[in-house]
Structure 1
Amino acid sequence: MTTLEDEQSKVSCNKDRFNRGDLVEVCSDEDGFQGAWFAATVIEQVSSGNLLIQYKSLRNDEDTEFLTEVVDSNHIRPHPGQEVVDHYRELEEVDALYNDGWWVGVISKVIGKQKYEVYFRGTEEEMVFKQSDLRRHQEWISGQELVFVNRLAIKRRIFVAKWIFSVTFVADILCKVWKTAQNQTPSIFIGGKMGWLRRLGK
């Protein structure tokens, strides 16, 4: 059973998780940047749950120095670090380095051992990336830990299930059409998602 003391301890732990000098990633809420993670360094804690950070790649409007801003700690996670990946597979979820941030996408095509075509669901765009600009997708779970999320198997199961449903659905329609033609019935009702009355008479 979770006690009030346990919940307060979790909140305190999450608030104090990041210290001065920590390398982190910050998620933006600004239009056009939602879902992207940007590398930054923690400068100091300015208030309860708020940290002053300095980005590693984003610069201020005058382009004189790297941008600093106060960010809610709920939008901050530890930097994932570097990981050696031999190769990626089609339909594998990845983060792609683009416009100074990491954007989540899906491998839509393997062009070669070192190049991949990545599809971004948010913009419905596809772009080509070098392997060095990709990493395995991770999610920050409940403000406690970074977890690799491999939805490849799930996506394949969904694809197969949809394919089987489509084939079965079409076969059912063709069967009804054939039976109707044999019986010379003027109309039939096709069920399923279509829910449509089609007249098959002359």
Structure 2
Amino acid sequence: MFLEPASVGNEYIVQFCILLKTDTSGPLREFVKAEKMHPKPAFVEVSSFHLGDMVDVYVNDGWWTGRVIRKIGENEYLVHFDNTNQDIMYRFPFIRVHKEWDAANDIWFLGFMLSLSDI
């Protein structure tokens, strides 16, 4: 990803390395407000996830937040997405610990965990 200041306002032009324009003619470029920008979260190594864990899943060229609702096999998890009300199975390499960005303090913190009674 590459950044350059936009010519007006408090925005940056973000050019993605992997994402392409809809017509595939070149890299996707978007305007992003400065307050929406943050550094990439640090990697948190885990060996497995548990029922109720908040996770980010890499799908459709981005990271989407969901929660683990079932473990299926050795390295597969059923993840529920509240925004689409879908339950989808993913393998371990495409799942990471969910983190939230605290813009006021410029830090990442671990996403919350739901208790089993919330599921």
TM over 0.5: yes
**Is contact 1:42-1:51 (8 Å) kept?**
no
The equivalences for 1:18-167 within 5 A come to 41-46=1-6, 47-143=8-104, 144-152=106-114, 155-156=115-116, 159=117
Q: CA deviation at 1:145?
A: 1.0
Q: What is the percentage of aligned positions where both structures have the same residue?
A: 24
CA distance in 2, matches of 1:77, 1:106: 23
Which of the pair is proportionally richer in helix? Answer: 1
Comparing both chains, which one has the higher relative contact order based on Cα–Cα distances under 8 Å and sequence gaps of 6 or more? 2
Please provide the CA RMSD for this pair. 1.8
AA aligned opposite 1:103: W
In the alignment, structure 1 segments of 5+ residues that lack a partner are 1-40, 161-202
| Length-normalised TM-score, structure 2 | 0.86
In the alignment, structure 2 segments of 5+ residues that lack a partner are none
- How many residue pairs match? The answer is 116
Q: Report the secondary structure of 2:19's partner residue.
A: strand
Q: CA deviation at 1:123?
A: 1.0
CA distance in 1, matches of 2:31, 2:4: 9
- What's the counterpart of residue 186 of structure 1? none
Q: CA deviation at 1:48?
A: 4.6
AA aligned opposite 1:45: P
Q: CA deviation at 1:60?
A: 0.8
Shift >6 Å, 4+ stretches: none
CA distance in 1, matches of 2:113, 2:44: 19
| Length-normalised TM-score, structure 1 | 0.53
CA distance in 2, matches of 1:105, 1:56: 25
AA aligned opposite 1:76: M
Which of the pair is proportionally richer in strand? Answer: 2
